[in-house]
Structure 1
Amino acid sequence: MPQRGFRPGPPDRADGLSASFAASYAGIIAFMAVATEGSFSKAGERLGIGRSAVSRNVLKLETQLSTRLFLRTTRTTQLTREGERFFENCHQGVAHIVEAMNDMLELRLGPPSGLLRISATAGFGRKVVAPLLSKFSAAYPDISLDLVLDDRPTDFAAGNIDVAFRNGRIEDSSIVAKQLIPMQMAVCASPAYAARHGLPSTLEDIARHECINTRIAGARILEWEFKVEGHVRKVVPAARLTFNDPELVLAAVLDGLGIAQMAGYQACDRIARGELVIAMGRYAPDDRGHYICYLSRQHLPSRIRVFVDFMTEEIRALNLHCLADFYTDYSTTGYRSFR
């Protein structure tokens, strides 16, 4: 029972507008189907609803417009003059809606096309992702590619990013993160440096060496990470040199200027050619990865789907998870001669 003296306020205008729009939309769809098919029964079959539902929706629309749209007899259903005018005015709008829906289905189910915006960390992007893009473009010429190199965490919305490559550990549960390969980390030096100075065998030994650090986004120095007796240990050594580009770190190590911890994708080919040697391999972390990330598995556009599949196959075939193939820990055996 309403309280004495209580007078209900006017209905919520937003709710009224929503209800009006819903009724109009259903009525217009029913009206267009009847006008196209020439009968309420055939319109119901086309829309997958009963004849009576079609009739109710059209009647509500006529009431809302205060206009009779059809002349109905037991044998025929014809548009009134007002109905013909309304049909012509609605036809273009409905055609645009159908075109928009078909366009969305084409993105999902049709040949891959459109712009694909990709984010990757600077090192992995230059070394691994960028060299594969020409092959992808040859396979999918209707997809345009925009690669952004950025070491900061990916903001998919602000950056309009479709796919991101990320390294390390993914803690964001709001994205889909597919591991491409485990991420190996190794303390590396040139054979010349190892011959002159030896190599560290413990975390404490690192302080006695010339170290080269990497500065990442936000001006933070990237920690050297190790796994000691099952626990993660991080070290930020005093550095002789610091760079904000992994390629410059690699170049300095190759020049014999010091030691650095770097990812396997940077070092594997150099180790295979004898240009780098590994130290402290027994302390290498084993719970990191290289990931390809996107926002949702549902309703994935075909351009994203084929790119993820292509990159997964191609990167796994590169044998970037390879440090064990060349592993000799010279920090324990000593390095005495060049290869």
Structure 2
Amino acid sequence: MTIDHPEPPHCENSDPLAATFSASFAGVVAFIAVATEGSFARAADRLGIGRSAVSRSVQKLEAQLDTRLFLRTTRSTSLTREGELFYRNCHPGVERIVQALEDMRDLREGPPRGQLRISATTGFGRRIVAPLLNRFRTRYPEIAVDLLLDDRPMDFTADRVDVAFRDGRMEDSQVIARQLIPMPMLVCASPAYMRTHGLPRQVEDLAGHTCINFRTASGRIFEWEFKVGGRIRKFQPTSTCTFNDDELVLQAVLDGQGIAQMAGYQISEHLRAGRLVACLAQYAPDDRGHYICYLSRQQLPARIRVFIDHMTAGVRALDLQCATGLTPVRSAVPDEAGDASAASIAWRRRSS
């Protein structure tokens, strides 16, 4: 028995756009130019191509449409009735294309304007990014800013983000990451806590202290990191107090409830004012940073370029590198038996 398989449909008319695109777009542009200028020669000058190229494009379009669009004489060029109908239908679409091209050129070359979608972690966004936006908006009033604060991993494409601020270590090779400043991580306590409990001198001493933990957006407890003997060592202290907001962690430390490892941008101001003291600074990891990230170095719109430059300069101008200038200070702290001979080493910021 023979089974007759139907012939596959011809592709010529299955998709009008695919079937006509190869010849029609250049032909339509040439056609609009000739109709507008009333001359093949002037149309060629406007398009910046040869007259013969314009003529060939129009001829291909006429053959494709199986319709004569122009009446040509030695003295004039005019539209046929079919040409007038085609012109009325095509002209609005071509105008929109031209306007779209001009808009893109304005975004690249004109005054920065448009929508800018930014992502930042909650703490860094509130404390650092948001205040710097005030000056940016004053300088570039035609740029509308949409700031998203979220500690969860961010996807540039799915979240439609133009620029993102990220902390820690950059392991995503798909984005361009420019380090703004290093991100020192220091263990801190209040002077009151230090006077009562002393401070750890080695990483192992943390087990004997009241530690305050931070729960990340993923639900896990943030691990404290130290650099011991040139290698990263992670430590997750036991704690009776855990927060999922880094500002609450900071406040608990300021209130003398315990010690915590925090980022430099959170504690630099408090270290300078003497409201906090740091410890274990000699073990602080030095390979973390604050980064400004975007998808490509090429063809960045003006609004993104000026934002990156503004924020890079603004963040670097802030005194956030609190690990620089710390000096060890020995302070007598009573031990469990009340003996004042025991000593702890605190790290205080030198006055600038």
Same fold (TM over 0.5): yes
8 Å Cα contact 1:176-1:295 kept in structure 2: yes
Q: Which amino acid in structure 1 is aligned with residue 126 of structure 2? A: R
Name the counterpart of 1:260. Answer: 260
Name the counterpart of 1:307. Answer: 307
Name the counterpart of 1:68. Answer: 68
Task: State the distance in 1 between where 2:256 and 2:345 align.
Answer: 14
Task: State the distance in 1 between where 2:49 and 2:136 align.
Answer: 46
Name the counterpart of 1:4. Answer: none
8 Å Cα contact 1:185-1:261 kept in structure 2: yes
Task: State the distance in 2 between where 1:329 and 1:20 align.
Answer: 80
Name the counterpart of 2:32. Answer: 32
Equivalent in 341, 344, 351 of residue 334 of structure 1: 344
Task: State the distance in 2 between where 1:114 and 1:297 align.
Answer: 19
Q: Which runs of 5+ in 1 are unaligned?
A: 1-6
8 Å Cα contact 2:200-2:344 kept in structure 1: no
Task: State the distance in 1 between where 2:321 and 2:296 align.
Answer: 27
Task: State the distance in 2 between where 1:71 and 1:324 align.
Answer: 80
Q: Which amino acid in structure 1 is aligned with residue 100 of structure 2? A: A
8 Å Cα contact 1:278-1:328 kept in structure 2: no
Is 1:123 the counterpart of 2:123? The answer is: yes
Identity %: 62
Kindly state the Cα deviation for residue 83 of structure 1 after the two structures are TM-superposed. 1.4
Task: State the distance in 2 between where 1:66 and 1:149 align.
Answer: 58
Q: How does 1:156-171 map to 2 (within 5 A)?
A: 156-171=156-171
8 Å Cα contact 1:272-1:326 kept in structure 2: no
| SS of residue paired to 1:141 | coil
Task: State the distance in 1 between where 2:16 and 2:69 align.
Answer: 24
Q: How does 1:117-196 map to 2 (within 5 A)?
A: 117-196=117-196
Change (3 A) 1:329 1:85: farther
Q: What is the RMSD computed on CA atoms of the aligned residues?
A: 2.5
Length-normalised TM-score, structure 2: 0.88
Name the counterpart of 1:244. Answer: 244
Kindly state the Cα deviation for residue 30 of structure 1 after the two structures are TM-superposed. 1.0
More helix per residue: 1 or 2? 1
Kindly state the Cα deviation for residue 308 of structure 1 after the two structures are TM-superposed. 1.0
Name the counterpart of 2:229. Answer: 229
8 Å Cα contact 1:279-1:330 kept in structure 2: no
Kindly state the Cα deviation for residue 52 of structure 1 after the two structures are TM-superposed. 2.4
Name the counterpart of 1:289. Answer: 289
Kindly state the Cα deviation for residue 15 of structure 1 after the two structures are TM-superposed. 8.0
8 Å Cα contact 2:201-2:344 kept in structure 1: no
- TM-superposition CA deviations, 1:252-280 (whole Å, max 9, x none): 11111111000111111111111111111
Q: Which amino acid in structure 1 is aligned with residue 107 of structure 2? A: L
Kindly state the Cα deviation for residue 220 of structure 1 after the two structures are TM-superposed. 1.1
| SS of residue paired to 1:334 | strand
8 Å Cα contact 2:281-2:323 kept in structure 1: no
Change (3 A) 1:185 1:297: same
| SS of residue paired to 1:218 | coil
Name the counterpart of 2:88. Answer: 88
Kindly state the Cα deviation for residue 127 of structure 1 after the two structures are TM-superposed. 1.1
- TM-superposition CA deviations, 1:294-316 (whole Å, max 9, x none): 12222212221111111111110
Kindly state the Cα deviation for residue 177 of structure 1 after the two structures are TM-superposed. 1.0
Task: State the distance in 1 between where 2:328 and 2:79 align.
Answer: 86
Kindly state the Cα deviation for residue 68 of structure 1 after the two structures are TM-superposed. 0.7
8 Å Cα contact 2:201-2:345 kept in structure 1: no
Kindly state the Cα deviation for residue 31 of structure 1 after the two structures are TM-superposed. 0.6
8 Å Cα contact 1:194-1:335 kept in structure 2: no
Change (3 A) 1:80 1:330: farther
Task: State the distance in 2 between where 1:327 and 1:264 align.
Answer: 16
- Give the length in aligned residue pairs: 334
8 Å Cα contact 2:121-2:151 kept in structure 1: yes
Task: State the distance in 2 between where 1:17 and 1:244 align.
Answer: 54
Kindly state the Cα deviation for residue 330 of structure 1 after the two structures are TM-superposed. 5.4
113-122 or 245-254, larger mean C-alpha shift: 113-122
Change (3 A) 1:140 1:16: closer
- TM-superposition CA deviations, 1:18-50 (whole Å, max 9, x none): 241221111101111112222223323332333
Task: State the distance in 2 between where 1:55 and 1:66 align.
Answer: 16
Name the counterpart of 2:217. Answer: 217
| SS of residue paired to 1:220 | coil
Name the counterpart of 2:336. Answer: none
Is 1:56 the counterpart of 2:56? The answer is: yes
Q: Which amino acid in structure 1 is aligned with residue 271 of structure 2? A: I
- TM-superposition CA deviations, 1:203-225 (whole Å, max 9, x none): 21111110011111110111101
Length-normalised TM-score, structure 1: 0.91
Task: State the distance in 1 between where 2:327 and 2:124 align.
Answer: 22
Task: State the distance in 1 between where 2:232 and 2:326 align.
Answer: 24
218-227 or 47-56, larger mean C-alpha shift: 47-56
Kindly state the Cα deviation for residue 240 of structure 1 after the two structures are TM-superposed. 2.1
